Structure 1
């Protein structure tokens, strides 16, 4: 990886290059360049200049773009005092090496920018391992960049030159590091799977909040559950899934999970590395697909999220489409979105508008195997009271003269425990005498 983010260096200046290719929709290159601006700013880099290049043909093997245009951009970067050129396309290792040899500057692509942001945001052991693995796999074919000053020292014989020997040693080190990271990550994944199995033993439904990065997922989780998950106005503020309990209006409990945000052109190696984290999406009973209604690129964000869900194998999950930040919209835009998405919900986490309707829809989708019950437990059975608190959701508890009165929802598979203590149980349906049919009610 490049060392342009070395904290000992003064503020790094970056020249950004967007690319519009023949297979892209008109204007898509400019939108992606705007997004790249935000990504680069999240790294703490100063943007000296940004420009959009239109390619008539993607087959430009040396620099991805034409040689003349590449030379022009290199000259512009040096004139602006830029330390790094950021290209909003995936560069092959050879193209990246060509750029750096010609310009004498660090040159990175969109993949490396996103990898650096993930590395900066990772907090937990699992996220750190996942990002480290993705970075190592990205850098392995690019190791020649680090040893270009030795590449001409080629000796004779089986051992080759100094540069060749050092490069091979580094490749072995990186491969060994990748193997070690995969082993450590497998242990963490196993621990997460064990935790998930323990949660699933309790019949509590679960939902996952998914969506484009910076759509307000963590803010929604905090608002609904009273949690204190980091919710910042920046891309990829949350990398690790966070699960909190949400008590629905009908008294049932829902496990609500906040997930890492998606983005267009999310590097495939990051999707692979974070599959263990994103498995929370696959095992959820339903998804809450949150969209930033005030973002002008909302259609692309919607399509990107659906594409990543399909790659994860979660496209068939029941999904609530929810538009957030409606308080920032004018009436015309809001009416247009409602007409385009008649089955969607429209909320504002900031003002609280629409959250009650969202909770009602969550109730409808939160399928579980519990039932509401009104119980009176004798004082001699405090052990049962404690157990019912553990396996179900007690909405109300009151100590009376003849026992403890509990109101709540409890798993049907434990019905044998609490059925004897149900207050006013429903009478069992009467059996009809053999050979007789119930008479029809006259109207």
Structure 2
């Protein structure tokens, strides 16, 4: 079980970053993002140390002179924790802690800490604990004071003292237990996905960088209320809701955990079962925050993770969100289908629904059927699970004449293909 820890006081933090091959702007954005992560973890940044280097110093990550500069800054300010903008080796954490006598954590542990604080479902908590234990396992030896803390503070949410100070065999045993429990969850999720497919459910998955506005878009489209916060990783547990397209077709919309640059590999592995929801989607909505100066890097990061999750072949619609406050430098990419919106503008949401419908229709085939009055059940399925372009009642023949688009590889698609008139007599209205 994860420890639930409440911060009674704001923890003061000094940030440390090394600029290797990035340009100045990319490095500045990275440090700003680290500051936002600290604020999300309820910490307060009181100073920062940066250095340009060819490669990290093996013993302390930053050079000896910068360690002295860091010590001077710590003496000047009342600091609880030092946070590095990179993943550190166990010896680097130990050496900096020995020199400064302060708690030292890296970017990976900070992100794990935020996930631990925000996990609500049993599956989410298990996934985070698995990621934390995977991170801690190679760091058990020689950690000393750096990892034997209890109580509040950034980087201390998680498996707890008993697990941190157990031997490797105990940690591995606990990891095996978690994996076994998650297998049951994955099996249940797989059965749920198969059932949705049998029911001709059409799924759209929302992906994007953390704090891009994914939950806001889900709330506005599905007219529901899930957590919306102007914070990184406000949503951790996935949410699926229903909503109707302009044609009346009913689809499922799934929100997913936000991505971030240098997302810890242990987290990607632990959340793979959740992120596999993407693979079952018919369309991905890639939400990009057009108000963020580093939106291009965010867009690239998400594309790389989509590729890593073997979901790059799923049709995508790029949604440039927050158009009302977009940066002056913003230029939309023309490599993929895209739309600019504000999630708070009703006309923009209407345009987004139409764009989603157009994207879905690219995967559909046309059908044209005549339905008798007593075939109300089939007519209802057509309305809910297909995009109807024309529906007319013929008084003379007492038939409904339906022209629309359906997914060909569904049960309904096969049924309508058998009954479809070969040459449609009704032109699709633009």
**Above 0.5 in TM-score?**
yes
Deviations 1:357-378 (A, max 9, x none): 3222212221357857675544
> Given the alignment of the two structures, is residue 344 of structure 1 paired with residue 338 of structure 2, yes or no?
yes
The structural deviation recorded for 1:18 is: 2.0
C-alpha displacement of 1:172: 2.1
Query: Does residue 181 of structure 1 match 2:178?
Result: yes
Question: Which of 37, 40, 56 is the matching residue for 1:39?
Answer: 37
Measured against aligned partners, the alpha-carbon deviations of 1:203-254 in whole angstroms (never above 9, x if no partner) come to 2322211111111111111111112221211111111222222211122222
Counterpart residue number, 1:48: 46
Within the candidate set 349, 358, 363, 2:357 is matched to 363
Decide which moves more: 232-241 or 387-396: 387-396
Q: In angstroms, what is the RMSD of aligned CA positions?
A: 3.4
Gaps of 5+ in 2: 149-162, 407-411, 425-430
What pairs with 1:244-323 in structure 2 (closer than 5 Å)?
A: 244-323=241-320
Q: Which residue of 2 aligns with 1:329?
A: 326
2:80 maps to 1:92: no
**SS at 1:144's partner residue?**
coil
**Post-superposition shift, 1:143?**
2.2
Superposed displacement of residue 386, structure 1: 5.7
What are the residue-to-residue correspondences of 1:162-201 with 2, within 5 Å?
Answer: 169-201=166-198
Q: In the comparison of the two structures, how many residue pairs are matched? A: 393
Q: 1:135 aligns with which of 111, 132, 136?
A: 132
Question: Is 2:7 aligned against 1:13?
Answer: no
- The CA deviation at 1:8 is 6.5
Taking structure 1 as reference, are residues 343 and 369 closer, same or farther at Cα in structure 2, changes over 3 Å only?
closer
> 1:428 Cα deviation (Å)?
8.0
**Correspondence for 1:243:** 240
3-state SS, counterpart of residue 49 of structure 1: strand
Q: Which has the larger radius of gyration?
A: 1
- Post-superposition CA distance 1:79-137 (Å, at most 9, x none): 31111100101100111111112211110000011001111111112111111100011
Report the CA distance shift for 1:123/1:408 in structure 2 as closer, same or farther (over 3 A).
Answer: farther
| Counterpart in the other structure of 1:63 | 60
Q: Give the alignment's TM-score, normalised by structure 1.
A: 0.79
3-state SS of 1:16 partner: strand
| 1:76 matched residue in structure 2 | 73
Distance 1:188 1:392, change over 3 A: farther
Give the conservation status (yes or no) of the 8 Å contact 1:126–1:185: yes
Asked whether the equivalents of residues 147 and 167 of structure 1 are also in contact (C-alpha less than 8 Å), the reply is no
Separation (CA, whole Å) in 1 of partners of 2:232 and 2:164: 35
Q: 2: distance between equivalents of 1:392 and 1:15?
A: 58
Distance 1:339 1:320 in 2: 11
Determine which structure has greater relative contact order: mean sequence separation of CA pairs < 8 Å that are 6+ residues apart, divided by chain length: 2
8 Å contact 1:20–1:30 — kept in the other structure?
no
2:105 aligned with 1:114: no
Give the match for residue 156 of structure 1.
none
Structure 1 distance, partners of 2:75, 2:368, is 71
SS in 2 for 1:393: helix
